[in-house]
Amino acid sequence: MGMIGILVRVLVVASQVFLSACFHGEDKVETADEQIIERISLGSGSQASLFYIAGNAICQTLAKGKETGKIPCESLVSDGSTHNLLALQEGKVEFGIARADTVYRAWYGQAPFKERFTKLRVLFALNQEVVTLVVPKDADVTTFRSVSGRKIHVDISEPDNERVVLELLKTCKISTSDLTLVDDKKMERLSQGLSRRASDSFFSLLSHPDDALTIVARAHPLGVLPLTESCIEKMVDERSYYDRAVIPGAIYPGVSTSVPSFGVRLWVLTTIDVSEKAAHLIAEGVFEHLDELRQNHPAFHHLSPKEMLPQFSVPYHNGALKYYAEKGWFSIEGKQGP
């Protein structure tokens, strides 16, 4: 059941701001406790990643806020989900972007995190990264099960990618003995490997459309396999950080129809040490300029409040909840929203 329209009980939390990045130092916003926000930092990802694009887009929308609500913001380059969560935990940044599976691990204190991150709060979700299984178009690999015993390249540009793929293979009882792990996406290597049959398939988590995969598909006809086996359906149902997903048709050469799969959402996060007013202004800045956010990447085109505010294991920040209640999307207490 989605978070929109359900009863949300707000926790009472102390609000105090510890902000540190540098950007537009002359702009200031008063917090609820009359402290001053001079600037904020948002941990994103590598400069080639969608995390970084999303971080820049969010900061741009905040710069266009109402005259009394503009927040100077800088999107910081990082190593991705785990790095951003650790930076939040250590108070090095005020906001960050991370994938749902890694957020879940931080909240429950699972590896690579040593203890529960109970101060963590979510603001809203972005797009999904979708588990994508690519094969040569004319290969004798037509289903997920048929990759068993074959050479599979797995994108481990982030440890989380490897963890998801290995969890999938283990759940579906597919041997990993023939896996070939690569330390980054290196689409040139993928292209050569698929064309020479040095590999039979390629696994990655991608935000679609993916520019690098488009280049490979133009050079060598590819197929994208559906991930709908019962073992996958069961895994997605049992793990709250996974969602069903669809890779749209006609975005890659030779892939004319939509392909069902599953994926993980990107979440924008903060902690209870950030004031309610600051969290409120972040939410307001993004949703009041959602049309502009959508224009930053095709993966954002279908974002909507309903999709961006799903139910999750980690609580929403009180300041963001207040904004959503003002919009009629949530009911903080008492009567349910529409």
Each residue's pLDDT tens digit, 276-287: 988 998 899 899
* Alpha-carbon distances of 167 from 131, 260, 317, rounded to whole Å: 12, 19, 30
Q: In degrees rounded to 5, what are phi and psi of residue 56?
A: -65, -40
Q: Are strands 222-224 and 120-136 parallel, antiparallel or unpaired?
A: antiparallel
Give the CA diameter of the chain: 65
Mean pLDDT along residues 250-269: 93
Q: In degrees rounded to 5, what are phi and psi of residue 40?
A: -130, 160
pTM: 0.82
* Alpha-carbon distances of 188 from 153, 212, 217, rounded to whole Å: 13, 9, 11
* Alpha-carbon distances of 186 from 123, 154, 202, 213, 253, rounded to whole Å: 33, 11, 11, 10, 19
Q: What is the rounded end-to-end Cα distance, in angstroms, of the chain?
A: 14
What's residue 274's pLDDT? 93
Sequence-ordered list of residues with C-beta below 8 angstroms from that of 114, at least 6 positions apart, any chain: none
Q: Are strands 95-99 and 40-43 parallel, antiparallel or unpaired?
A: parallel
Report residue 318's pLDDT band, with 50, 70 and 90 as the boundaries.
very high
Q: Are strands 152-155 and 95-99 parallel, antiparallel or unpaired?
A: unpaired
- pLDDT of 309 above 60: yes
Report residue 14's pLDDT band, with 50, 70 and 90 as the boundaries.
very low
Domains and their CATH numbers in the chain:
29-127+265-326 (3.40.190.10), 129-264 (3.40.190.10)
Minimum mean pLDDT range among 113-122, 151-160, 203-212: 151-160
Q: How far apart are CA 320 and CA 317, in angstroms?
A: 5
**Amino acid type, 223:** G
Q: pLDDT per residue over 181-198, tens digit each?
A: 655 456 556 666 666 666
For the record, the structure tokens of 113 come out as 């995190």
The number of beta carbons lying within 10 Å of the beta carbon of residue 140 is 9
- pLDDT of 39 above 90: no
